[in-house]
């Protein structure tokens, strides 16, 4: 009888030990899976980022010392370079906000404002990709899988010959989808342009569309690594929604009066009875 009791006691203890070990193993597996799990990726849309920032994450002194402007051109134009693209692209922000100092003599708080904005963008799942500065401004860019944001600060301009512009700070954001679409559109136009020109290496492009809805004219502003001819305007006339390359206009650094030089193709297009008169009107505005 005693042997039977000892046997049952042994089995009970052994069973308990097995249960404890099993629980420990399961717990270890669960913890290991949790600790090694990839961090959650926040894919916050550009519009939502800007809405949240302007409503809850602005620094305390913004409302009192700075005037707010939505979609101001100073922060509504963003510079972006795709990792697989040979040139930088100028894109329009989905949303942007600019804060200009009300009192030019007040302390410039842009460094604090940038720090606050960078902290906020990090909470939105974004990572810093670039910081650049010039004598007049500084730019910090943040990206995620779906959004791109640019923080820009502008130093005050006090030369009366130019303008009295107070120091300003702002953020602009747009979607990666919109950037990809613009790259695709511009690359399609460049295919036509490169088929007729042997231009230097392109470093930067911006695009605008002028004219009316019937015959719009697309203009590519192209910067290159050639110092003697830094500015190129490539023109495309659209008929039936299909843009066609019609020529270029350049401004040579060698010309002290900065007169534009039109290509033979553009001069010929201006004489075309189909759209020449309208194209000439567009060119005369530049």
Residue 111 lies in a domain: yes
**Res. 228: pLDDT tops 70:** no
Give the model's pLDDT for residue 176.
94
One domain for residues 73 and 161: yes
Q: What is the pLDDT of residue 169?
A: 85
- pTM listed for this prediction: 0.73
The pLDDT value given to residue 38: 43
**Owning domain of residue 200:** 196-284
Greater pLDDT, 147 or 152: 147
| % of the chain exceeding 70 in pLDDT | 72
Summarize pLDDT for 184-210 with one digit per residue, the tens.
Answer: 999 999 888 876 556 667 888 988 888
Has residue 223 got a pLDDT over 80? yes
* Residue 37 included in any domain: no
Buried b (16+ CB within 10 A) or exposed e, 146-182: bbbbbbbbbbeeeeeeeeebbbbbbbbbbbbebbeeb
Q: How confident is the model at residue 118 (pLDDT cuts 50, 70, 90)?
A: very high
Q: Does any domain span residue 66?
A: yes
Query: Do 222 and 156 reside in the same domain of the chain?
Result: no
User: Above 80 in pLDDT, residue 48?
Assistant: yes
73 and 162: one domain?
yes
pLDDT (mean) for 246-251: 86
Mean pLDDT of 112-133: 89
pLDDT value of residue 26: 43
- Is 73 inside a domain boundary? yes
Residues 132 and 65 in one domain: yes
Section 227-253 average pLDDT: 80
With cut-offs at 50, 70 and 90, classify the pLDDT of residue 174.
very high
Tell me, yes or no, whether 205 and 87 share the same domain. no
54 and 166 belong to one structural domain: yes
Judge if 149 and 250 occupy the same domain.
no
Q: Rounded distance, CA 107 to CA 215, Å?
A: 50
Instruction: Give me the pLDDT at residue 215, please.
Output: 79
50 and 170, same domain (yes or no): yes
Do 110 and 117 touch, CB atoms closer than 8 A? no
Residue 12 confidence (pLDDT) above 50: no
Same domain, 166 and 77: yes
pLDDT over 80 at 230, yes or no:
no
Tell me, yes or no, whether 255 lies in a domain.
yes
**Pair 66, 168 in one domain:** yes
SS3 176: helix
Residue 107 forms part of a structural domain: yes
Name the domain count of the chain. Answer: 2
Q: Please check whether residue 239 lies inside any domain of the structure.
A: yes
**Residue at 35 is within a domain:** no
Planar angle of CA 44, 46, 50, nearest 5 degrees: 105
Q: Is the pLDDT score of 108 beyond 80?
A: no
> 151 and 206 in one domain?
no
List Cα–Cα distances, 163 to 27, 53, 106, 152, in angstroms. 68, 30, 18, 19
**pLDDT (average), residues 55-76:** 76
């Amino acid at each position: 009888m005693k042997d039977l009791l000892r046997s049952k006691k042994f089995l009970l203890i052994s069973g308990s030990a097995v249960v404890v070990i099993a629980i420990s193993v399961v717990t270890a597996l669960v913890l290991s899976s949790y600790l090694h799990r990839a961090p959650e990726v926040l894919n916050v849309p550009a519009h939502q980022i800007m809405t949240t920032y302007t409503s809850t994450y602005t620094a305390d002194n913004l409302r009192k010392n700075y005037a707010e402007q939505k979609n101001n051109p100073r922060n509504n134009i963003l510079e972006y370079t795709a990792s697989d693209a040979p040139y930088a692209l100028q894109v329009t922000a989905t949303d942007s906000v600019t804060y200009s100092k009300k009192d030019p003599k007040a302390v410039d708080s842009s460094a604090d404002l940038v720090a606050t904005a960078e902290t906020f963008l990090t909470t939105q799942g974004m990572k810093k990709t670039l910081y650049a500065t010039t004598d007049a401004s500084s730019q910090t860019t943040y990206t995620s899988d779906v959004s791109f944001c640019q923080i820009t600060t502008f130093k005050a301009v006090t030369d009366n010959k130019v303008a009295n512009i107070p120091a300003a700070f702002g953020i602009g954001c747009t979607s990666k989808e919109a950037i990809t679409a613009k790259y695709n559109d511009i690359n399609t136009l460049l295919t036509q342009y490169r088929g007729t020109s042997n231009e230097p290496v392109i470093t930067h492009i911006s695009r605008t569309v002028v004219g009316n809805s019937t015959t719009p004219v697309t203009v590519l502003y192209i910067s290159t690594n050639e110092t003697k001819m830094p500015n190129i305007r490539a023109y495309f006339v659209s008929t039936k929604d299909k843009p066609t390359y019609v020529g270029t206009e350049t401004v040579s650094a060698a010309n002290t009066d900065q007169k534009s030089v039109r290509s033979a193709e553009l001069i010929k297009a201006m004489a075309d009875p189909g759209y020449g008169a309208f194209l000439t009107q567009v060119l005369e505005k530049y």
